Structure 1
Amino acid sequence: MAVPTEPDLIVRGGVVLTLDGAGRRVSALAARGGRITALGDDREISALAGPHTRVLELEGRTAIPGFIESHNHPVFFGFALAAPVDAGSPPNDRIADIAERLAVAVREAPAGEWVRGFRYDHTLLADRRHPTRHDLDPVSPRHPVVLTHVTGHFCTVNSAALALLGITAATPDPPGGRIERDASGEATGVLVETAAFLVNSQLPRPDEETLAHALRLADREFLANGITTVHDTGTGLFGGTGELALYRRLSASGELRTRVRSYLAHQAFAGADGRMPTPGELGAASDGERFRLAGVKIIADGSIQGRTGCLAEGYHQHPDEHGMMLQSPERLAEMVADVDAAGWQAAVHGNGDAAIEAIVGAYRHVDSAARRHRIEHCQTVREDQLDRMAEQGVLASFFVKHVYYWGDGHRDLWLGPERARRISPLVSAHRRGIIYGLHSDTPVTPVPPLEGVWCAVARRTRDGHELGPEQAVDVERALRAYTVDAAHLTGEEGETGTLEAGKLADLAVLSDDPTAVTTEALRTLRVEATVVGGEVAWSATGELSPAL
C-alpha cells in the first residue's frame, strides 16, 4: 500500500515571509507530519493537495515564522490571569483602588485563606510608593494577604501574613534581600528580592490542578499572540520541582499547544549542597519537540525601576545607592561553573552593569560559545562588556519593552539621560555579531511580540519621547530576534525560526506585512491565526477551509 505524500496543510493566498538567509518571499507553503515540505506560488503548492489536505487561506494576509518568546514565566503569568485581585495599573490609579479590590476578594475568601494579588507597580501609582501593611490591614485584618509586584522582585504582605511568616522587628534581612522597616524598626510589609522569594516558598504550595489551570490560561494567551515557542526562564519558582512533571504531562497530552523550553530555577532544583542534577538525572533524554529542558536560570541582581538592579555608578536621584547583588561575584562564578559542568546552558538574570560585569566574569571560566550561555534582560550592558560578550560567545535576551514601559523613569529618576538612552543596546550588540532574542518577561509586561518589535524599531517611551534612537533596529532585524535568533538561544535554529522545507511548521498569520507598514502601525497589526506543527492551534475566527 502506497504511503500518502499529500500535505496535511496548505497555506496560500498571501505573503509568506520566510525570514530565511536569502529573505525569500513566496505566497504559499505546504506541510506534512508537522514539518514544512514545500514553498512556492499558489499554483504549484495547490497542485500538491490531495483529498485530505486542509487549507488555510491567507486572503492577502502575511504568514511569518511563529514568534519565539525567549524569556517568560508561564506559571506566574497564569496565576496573574487567574488572581482574585488585579493590582495592576491600569486599572488601579491609587493604592486605595487596590485596597478596594482586595476588600472584595477578602469577603469572598474562606476564613484564614491566603488572598493573592499580582501586578502592582509602585512607579505607576499616584502614591508613588509600595503599598504597606497599613494599607492592607484595614480591609484584611484576618486573612493573610500578599501582593506581588509586577517585576516579581518585591511583594507586600499584611500583618496577618507577617505573623504567619514569623517576620518581626528582630528578623534579620536574608542574604540578597531586605525587609523594609519603619522608623521604629517594625516591618512595613514590603519585602525585597530574596525576602520576597522567601514568601513564595512559604506560601501553601498550589496543587497540581491549580498549576495546570495557570499553564492552560497562559498557553491560550501565547497562542492568541502568535507565539509558538516560549522559554520558561524559571520553572519551579511557584510549584517547585513538580512543575517539571506537570509540563511533561500537559505537553504530551496536547493540553499545552505552545512548545516550551524550560530553564530550571536554580533555587528550586539545586541540591542541599547547592549543586544541580544533570539533564540525564532529570530525564531530559525522554523529552521531545513539544517540551524540552534547555538550561538553568540564575538571578544575579534585581530591577532598575525598583533600585535593586546592581549598578557600577549610583542611581541618578540616589547617587549613594547602587542596588544589590543576590549572589556575590564569587558565588555566582561557582554556580555558573557547576551548571556548566553538569551539562546545562546557563541563563543569568542581569539588569545593572555591575551585575553584568560579574556575569561576564563568571562566563570567562567556562566555554560560553559551546554551551550558548546567555544573559537575561542585559539592560544596562556597556560597550566594553559587549566586546567581551562577543569575544566569549555569550548570547543575550534583551527586555526591549523597558524602553516603552519604564523608559521615562530610567531617564528622569533611575539612570539619567545618558545611561537611559543605552538600555537594550540592540544596534551595539548586532554590530559585534552577538546573537540575541527579545522578550516581554510576561507578566511583567504584556505578551504581544508585535509590541516588542515596535519597541525595538521606534524606541519610544510611554510619554512619547524617543529614547536612544541610535539603538533602534529595522523591522526585519527585530522580527529575527523574535524568531530565528531566539531559536539560536536554545540551539534550535536548524529546526525552527524560519519558514523553510524540513523545518517545523510553526507560523503566525498577521493582518498585514510588518515590513510594509508604518512604524506606528506595527503595534496595531493583529494575529489572525497561529499554527504549531502544521496544526491550526488558534484562530481569530475559528475558520479553516475543508479538505480539497
Structure 2
Amino acid sequence: MGEPAASARPAPDLVVVGGTVLTLDRGGTRATALAARGGRITEVGDDRAIAALAGPETTVLDLAGRTVVPGFVESHNHPSFFGMALAAPVDAGSPPNDRISDIADRVRQAARDFGPGEWIKGFRYDDTLLADNRHPTRHDLDPASPRNRVLLTHVTGHFSVANSAALRAVGITAATPDPPGGAIARDERGEPTGLLIETAAFLVNSAMPAQGPDELAAALQLADAEYLRNGVTSVHDTGIGLIGGEQELAAYRMLTRAGKLRTRIHGYLFHTLLPGLAEGTPEPPDPSNPDGFTMNGIKIVADGSIQGRTGCLAEGYTCDPDEHGMMLLEPDDLSRRIAALDAAGWQVAVHGNGDAAIDAIIDGYARLGAPEGTGRRHRIEHCQTAREDQLDRMAEHGIAASFFIKHVYYWGDRHRDVFLGPDRARRISPLASARSRGIHFGLHSDTPVTPVPPLEGIWCAVARQTSSGQLLGPEQAIDVEAALRGYTIDAAYLAGEETLKGSLEAGKLADLIVLSEDPTAVDPSRIRDLTVDATVIGGQVVWQRDPVATGGVR
C-alpha cells in the first residue's frame, strides 16, 4: 500500500503561520510556518502548505508578520534563589536603593510587619552600586531590626550580611574561625562586622527555619512565570541544593510530577550534596527523572566573584595589586573531584571567574585524557577572564563554556576602572576568540544576579556596551545569529540535548517563542527592546503578551 493521503493524516495540534521562522538549523533555514503534534514539530515550510494541514481543533498562531525562534535555553540560572528573591520581604537591590540607609529603611518596614524573633530576608544588595561604596554591616541593620534576625544576600550570592541577632543565633563570635573557602569579616577589635564571605555566607543558614518542599516549590513557580514571560523554555539550574539543600530536589520532583512546572529543567546538583564524593566514590546519576526534569550534572564552585574581589586572578586586582582572590577548593582537591565524577558518569560544571581558577579547572579536565569518543561535555561556568592560551587548551581538551555575557553591561565599567584595568576588562567573556577556536558555548544571565531577558544577553554579545554606554572589547563581539545560537542550540549542546531542542526542525520539541520583530533584521541597538509576544512549550501556548491564538483556519 502507498502512503496515506495528506488529508488522512492526523491534524496538527498547533500551526504557526504568517511571519518569519528562524529555524537555527545547521543551514540557517528560514521559513514562514510550522506545524506540531504530540509536543513535537512535524513540519516546517510555507504558509499555504502548513495552513492546509490544520483541522477544526488545531490551535493557530497567526504571526501577523512577527518572528518565531526556538525557545530560549538559559544555560546558567538559579531558579530557587530567583524565586526566593522575588518573594523576599526586602528588596535590597540598586535600584531602588541608593544608599545603605535606604536598605535599612526597608528592613525597618519589614520589622514592623513581622513578629518579634522572626527572620527577615533580603536579596540583591550590591556594594559597588551603593553611594556608600561598601557592604552593609550589623551596625547598619541593628537599629532597624532590634527584635528580628536579618540576613541580606549579595546580588552575586557570594556574600551575605547578618545583623547581631542573626550572628548570635548561629553562634558567630570573635572566636569563630573562618571556614574553609570563606571568611568572616572583622573590625579592628576582631569582632564580626556581619559580612560573611563565600562559604561563610552559608553559616547563618543553619540557624534559619528549614525550608520545606512547599516553600521552595512556591519559589520555583514564581521563577517559572518569569521565565515564560521572557521566552525561556529550558533552564540549566547550576546548583540544585545550594539554597535549600535536598528539599530543593524534592520540590522539583513534586512540581514536575504534578505538571505544575512548565519550564524544562536540566539540573546540576551542588557537589556537597552528592553522597560519596568527598570520599572519592560518588554515587552515579539516577536515570529515573520525571518528564521535564533531568539531573545528570554536578556543580562545583572553584572561586568567587570578580566584583567581590574573591575571583582568583593570576595577577592582582587593579584596585588592590596584592589581592588575588581565593580558591574555594585546592587545585588538587578540585582535580580529584572532577576525576571521580567523570568516572561515575556525571557531567561536571565548574564555576570559574578568575584566570587562576580557570587554569585549575582546565588542569582538572585535562588530566582525564583525550575527550574523543568519551561523550564528555564538561563545562566552565562564567569563564569570565579566560586568556587566549586558556582558550587554546579548552579547545584542545573539548571543554565547553557558559559565558556570563551580561557582565559586560552590568559590571563592565567597574571591571575596567576598578577591578581588572582596561586590558583585562576588554577580554571578559571572550566570545569571538572562543568561537574562532570552535569552542562550544552558551550564554547566560545567572539570574537573579542579573535580570532574565535573553534578548538583553543577545544584545550584550553583539553590542559589547557597558551601562555607561561605552564599548568594552568590541573585537570580542559576535554576530546576531551566533548570539541567538548561544541562547538556543548551542546552549542545548551544553546539556547534550541538541538533538532534542534548540532549533526548529521536524522531530524536535515544539518549544518556540514569538518575537515582535526579527532580531537579525533590526538595528542591533534595538535587539534588547524587542518583546516576547508568546511562549510555546511542547506545542502548547503557555504564555501570551496579547491574545494571538485563534480557533482555527477559515
TMscore range, shorter length: over 0.9
TM-score (norm 1): 0.97
Deviation at 1:279, TM superposition (A): 4.0
Unaligned runs of 5+ in 2: 1-6
- The residue number in structure 1 matching 2:356 is 354
1:47-126 to structure 2, matched below 5 A, reads 47-126=52-131
Q: CA deviation at 1:249?
A: 2.0
Opposite residue 205 of structure 1, the aligned amino acid is A
Q: Residues 272, 334 of structure 1: CA spacing in aligned structure 2 closer, same or farther, 3 A cutoff?
A: closer
CA distance in 2, matches of 1:343, 1:206: 30
User: Corresponding residue for 1:487?
Assistant: 492
Matched, 1:230 2:232: no
Find the counterpart in structure 1 of residue 330 from structure 2: 328
Shift of 1:275: 4.8
| 2:175 is the counterpart of 1:170 | yes
Which residue, out of 265, 285, 289, partners 1:287?
Answer: 289
Equivalent residue in structure 1 for 2:255, among 250, 254, 261: 250
Q: CA–CA distance in 2 between the matches of 1:297 and 1:532? A: 27
Show the counterpart of 1:366.
Answer: 368
What letter matches 1:12 in structure 2?
A: V
Partner SS, residue 105 of structure 1? helix
Q: Distance in 1 between matches of 2:534 and 2:228?
A: 8
Within 1, Cα distance between the matches of 2:456 and 2:79?
Answer: 18
Q: Please state how far the C-alpha of 1:239 moved relative to its aligned partner.
A: 1.7
- 2:136 counterpart residue number: 131
Q: Name the structure 2 match of 1:144.
A: 149
Distance 2:506 2:181 in 1: 49
- Which residue of 2 is the match for residue 304 of structure 1? 306
Query: What is the deviation of 1:110?
Result: 1.8
Deviation at 1:289, TM superposition (A): 4.6
The answer to whether the 8 Å contact 1:10/1:46 transfers is yes
Aligned residue for 1:378? Answer: 383
Distance of 2:264 and 2:123 partners within structure 1? 25
Structure 1's 272 and 499: CA in aligned 2 closer, same or farther, altered over 3 A?
closer
1:244 Cα shift? 1.7
TM-score between both structures, scaled by the size of structure 2:
0.96
Deviation string, structure 1 residues 272-298 (Cα, Å, up to 9, x no partner): 844574344xxx322255111130000
Q: Cα 1:258–1:3, aligned 2, differ >3 Å: closer, same or farther? A: farther
- For 1:321, the aligned partner's letter is E
Partner of 2:319: 317
Which residue is 2:398 aligned to?
393
The answer on whether the counterparts of 2:278 and 2:337 sit within 8 Å (CA) in structure 1 is: no
Inter-partner Cα distance in structure 1 for 2:302 and 2:14: 45
Give the whole-Å Cα distance in 2 for the aligned partners of 1:3 and 1:188. 74
Q: What is the alpha-carbon distance in structure 1 between the residues aligned to residue 148 and residue 305 of structure 2?
A: 29
CA distance in 2, matches of 1:205, 1:277: 26
Question: Displacement, 1:165?
Answer: 1.0
* Deviation sequence 1:309-347 (CA, Å, 0-9, x none): 000000001000000000000110111111112210000
Is structure 2 residue 463 aligned with structure 1 residue 458? yes
Q: Matched residues in 1 for 2:64 and 2:548: separation?
A: 12
One-letter code of the match for 1:100?
A: D
After TM superposition, the structure 1 = structure 2 runs for residues 423-462 of structure 1, keeping only pairs within 5 Å, are: 423-462=428-467
Please tell me whether the aligned partners of residues 241 and 269 of structure 1 are also in contact (alpha carbons under 8 angstroms): no
Pick aligned residue for 1:217 from 211, 222, 227: 222
CA distance in 1, matches of 2:489, 2:229: 20
Of residues 247, 257, 262, the one that matches 2:267 is 262
CA distance in 1, matches of 2:410, 2:142: 30
Counterpart-to-counterpart distance in 2, 1:178 and 1:220: 36
How far does residue 215 in structure 1 lie from its aligned partner after superposition? Answer: 0.3
Contact 1:438 1:452 in 2 (8 A): yes
Superposed displacement of residue 304, structure 1:
0.1
1:542–1:503 Cα change, 3 Å: same
User: Could you tell me how far apart the structure 1 residues matched to 2:548 and 2:66 are?
Assistant: 15
Q: How does 1:170-189 map to 2 (within 5 A)?
A: 170-189=175-194
1:111 to partner: Cα distance: 1.6
2:335 alignment partner AA: A
CA contact (8 A) 2:31 2:45 kept: yes
TM-superposed CA distance for 1:200, in Å, is: 2.8
Write the distance in 2 (CA, Å) between the matches of 1:504 and 1:378.
Answer: 30
One-letter identity of the residue aligned with 1:99? A
- Kept in 2: contact 1:176–1:194 (CA 8 A): yes
Which amino acid is the alignment partner of residue 303 of structure 2?
A: D
Cα distance in 2 for partners of 1:268, 1:81 equals 25
User: Aligned-pair distance for 1:197?
Assistant: 2.3
2:511, 2:468 → 1: CA distance? 36
Instruction: Give, in whole Å, the separation in 2 of the partners of 1:134 and 1:271.
Output: 41
1:341 matched to which residue of 2? 343
Q: Which of 493, 498, 502 in structure 1 is aligned with 2:503? A: 498
Pair 139,23 (structure 1): closer, same or farther in 2 beyond 3 Å: same
Does residue 473 (structure 1) correspond to residue 478 (structure 2)? The answer is yes
**1:50 Cα deviation (Å)?**
1.5
C-alpha separation in 1, matches of 2:359 and 2:214: 41
Query: What is the one-letter code of the residue matched to 1:430?
Result: R
Preserved contact between residue 125 and residue 154 of structure 2 (Cα < 8 Å): yes
Pair 1:201–1:477, CA change in 2 (3 A): farther
- How far apart are residue 393 of structure 1 and its match? 0.3
Q: For 1:35 and 1:315, locate their aligned partners in 2 and report how far apart those are by CA, in whole Å.
A: 50
- Percent identity over the alignment is 66
Contact 2:13–2:58 (8 Å) recurs in 1: yes
Residue 538 of structure 1 aligns with which residue? 543
- Alpha-carbon distance, 1:404 to partner: 0.3
Aligned counterpart in structure 2 of residue 412 of structure 1, from 401, 408, 417: 417
Give the direction of change, closer, same or farther, for the CA distance of 1:449–1:375 in structure 2 (3 Å limit).
same
Per the alignment, do residues 27 and 242 of structure 1 end up closer, same or farther by CA in structure 2, a change over 3 Å counting?
same
CA distance in 2 between counterparts of 1:294 and 1:67 reads: 21
Q: What RMSD over aligned residues (CA atoms) do the two structures have, in Å?
A: 1.4
Q: Secondary structure at the match of 1:37?
A: strand
Deviation sequence 1:51-79 (CA, Å, 0-9, x none) = 21110111110000000000000000000
CA contact (8 A) 1:278 1:343 kept: no
Matched, 1:5 2:10: yes
By how many angstroms is 1:271 displaced?
4.1
Unaligned runs of 5+ in 1: none
Question: 1:203: how far off?
Answer: 2.4
Q: Distance in 1 between matches of 2:247 and 2:165?
A: 28
Aligned-residue offset at 1:251 = 1.4
Provide the rounded CA distance (Å) in 2 between the counterparts of 1:441 and 1:276: 30
Post-superposition offset of 1:3: 8.9
Deviation at 1:169, TM superposition (A): 0.6
Q: Secondary structure at the match of 2:203?
A: helix
Instruction: Specify which of 31, 35, 52 is matched with residue 30 of structure 1.
Output: 35
